[in-house]
Structure 1
């Protein structure tokens, strides 16, 4: 099948997912959610003012008409104005997304790479002290709350009780002339990156080790070992290459969760103006336009991840394309 036709097919298959997620979220947030009319008015508002606000909020329209309007906003990437900040939601997201990517990318990449190296080492020495030590550290990382890890690293590296090397809060990554400063960026991103790597290492290492150990017991690895291939060739040529499909699945499906869930906790704690902070402020203030935009775009991101995963599967294992 032609690659572009395949991509188009997968995107079409993802439409029901987007419709389902957006429909459920729209019903919960808007249809069954709180009536925001009186939160935007004074106590003694006139009937005319009440009707005007309800018209602006769309409460005078049928449910399906409001939902279709929401879908059209999603297609146009135009979600109206924020109810709290009185600025376009699309502008807020465009300004926040680069911050979240710069914040989460180093920890995401390092967490996966280090976990893959440790998992390879553990699988290579399965049952020995190296394997047991790596797994013990992984379990410890999984058992500690992400919030506790963030607070712990902040106390160690960013407070007067510890080393006090890095800033506690904020995101001042531009110099006095308005140019991006890599030095300032390194200072602000180090502690969040350490926290992300510490937590993700536990989950990722255990998963990658399980995948590699499963490959270790397969016939092609036994055959390669019988033909005299060394441990390095078996590890990277026969085990890792064949394990790329489940590894790719975990990495890609972590992207939406990392961008939204992980950044929400880190950004709200450190006061970093990314997508997570925007989401947190919207939840606290009940800013429905922002919440609807984030939920809808997250669903679209999942569809894009599904499509990208299917393409990579065919690249890593051509046999998939023949099924």
Structure 2
């Protein structure tokens, strides 16, 4: 029997709906905490700004590659998202899902620009820094939201692969903005959280409106649904956490720090990788769990 064609529950239970609500609220709380610590406190400003300043040390070849990525990012993001979403929509007739995903994508990008204008300038805490607000990162929001839109419209068995590729694209974009000194690490993390706060409710609506195709039998039913795509970002996140711990143990954060190192840069880069891949793993797991519970029993 093909369980995917015979969903057992046309609408997910209230418990699953509460999970999406809690996840969305957690993203909003994390966004507020990111702003408060990295913008409003001395220690947060120092760590964030130090990572930005130390990016000069490795700009060189990496900076040239990052510049090329950032210059082409708007066109690449829009092109990828448009082609994939249109292809899936026309082929599978997922018009409602496509509309919801694109609306969430637009909402995340508009919100980022609004926050840039509304969030107060950085208060002076003894740290030499640019006063204008750069949180969240617009380029990172664009890349992450485009990837998330693709993630939402593809079938559950394609989501693990789509999540890994999209998460990697968003992480690479965020790191590139740091290397080029366009944004601080916190700006990138905030962008991830803005996108997540929009895409989680959108995903819930897509599951509600497309119950039949939002069903699967679990990991391993297809090569794109391999647990490998969940393991890779987990390993990358753990490796980055180890790197961040090592970098921060070598330095004592504080305004009195002397000398030029790259420890804060590597710690900031690790923070971006951890946040991006944590969101990837959480999203793949949550939507996979929702699809299985929603439509197909375990084999």
User: Structure 2-normalised TM-score?
Assistant: 0.28
Structure number with bigger Rg:
1
User: Structure 1-normalised TM-score?
Assistant: 0.27
